[in-house]
A and B are shown apart, each in its own frame.
Chain A
């Protein structure tokens, strides 16, 4: 069974600094996808970044990058140059590729607060 662990319930970062949100996962499927979503207080789940298990390079999307360490089964999100608007809950999620219709498993989330 797949499992996602986010060990940081809450994180604080100073505006303009970088922050790393931790995510570890467990799966027996060799083919899977890892996702990060941002959820502000409005409730919408906003897709940030995706890493496939066979991708050779770490994914990057603007200020977001994913530090993928396959042997350690970790997929940490790095946000560079934090902005006040980055304050939100962040979820790491995984989907095993042998699963029909993209059933994803979510971690418990990390609440990020950006301080001015």
Chain B
């Protein structure tokens, strides 16, 4: 069983909808990440939260809005998305700080924008 849980597993949304992706981990990790992955491509880092503060934003469009309510939860709010935003969205977590250990990934949310 994965130790990082993402919901929902699948999501279809219109370009005018607002939706949220959720991610939860209970490993005590202090770093959490959002990645976007297109088919047959490597994951692309979107955001990094370190100790519940946004530490990296890889120039992601503002229609994606991350939120870290506490050390166990990470959300990604979606608004006015485009069809090209359709992808697999992966959440991951790892120990915080320098030289942090490996990332644990969730099963991902397959997002389709229509």
Is B50 in contact with chain A by the CB < 8 A criterion? yes
**A51 vs chain B, min Cβ distance (A):** 11
A44 to B56, CA, bound (A): 23
A45 to B99, CA, bound (A): 20
Q: Which of A33, A100, A108, A111 contacts B102 (CB 8 A)?
A: A33
CB neighbours (8 Å) of B13 from chain A are none
In the complex the two chains form, is A106's CB within 8 Å of B110's CB? no
Question: Given the known A-B contacts A98-B98, A100-B98, A101-B96, are A91 and B42 also in contact in the complex, defined by CB atoms under 8 Å?
Answer: yes
How many chain B residues touch the partner (CB < 8 A)? 32
In the complex the two chains form, is A101's CB within 8 Å of B31's CB? yes
For window 76-104 of chain A, which residues contact chain B by CB distance below 8 Å? 89, 91, 95, 97-104
In the complex the two chains form, is B102's CB within 8 Å of A89's CB? no
A68 to B6, CA, bound (A): 33
**B101 vs chain A, min Cβ distance (A):** 7
Question: Given the known A-B contacts A43-B110, A50-B102, A97-B98, are A103 and B42 also in contact in the complex, defined by CB atoms under 8 Å?
Answer: no
CB neighbours (8 Å) of B56 from chain A are 101, 103
In the complex the two chains form, is A44's CB within 8 Å of B48's CB? no
In the complex the two chains form, is A45's CB within 8 Å of B100's CB? no
CB neighbours (8 Å) of A43 from chain B are 88, 90, 107-108, 110
Is B45 in contact with chain A by the CB < 8 A criterion? yes
Is B104 in contact with chain A by the CB < 8 A criterion? yes
Q: Which of B31, B42, B97, B104 contacts A106 (CB 8 A)?
A: B42
**B65 vs chain A, min Cβ distance (A):** 19
In the complex the two chains form, is B50's CB within 8 Å of A101's CB? yes
In the complex the two chains form, is B40's CB within 8 Å of A109's CB? yes
List 21 A-B pairs, Cβ < 8 Å: A33-B101, A37-B105, A44-B2, A44-B105, A45-B103, A50-B101, A98-B98, A100-B55, A100-B98, A100-B100, A101-B48, A101-B49, A101-B55, A101-B96, A102-B33, A102-B102, A104-B45, A104-B103, A107-B42, A109-B40, A111-B40
Chain B residues in contact with chain A, CB under 8 A? 2, 31, 33, 40-43, 45, 48-50, 55-56, 88, 90, 92, 94-108, 110
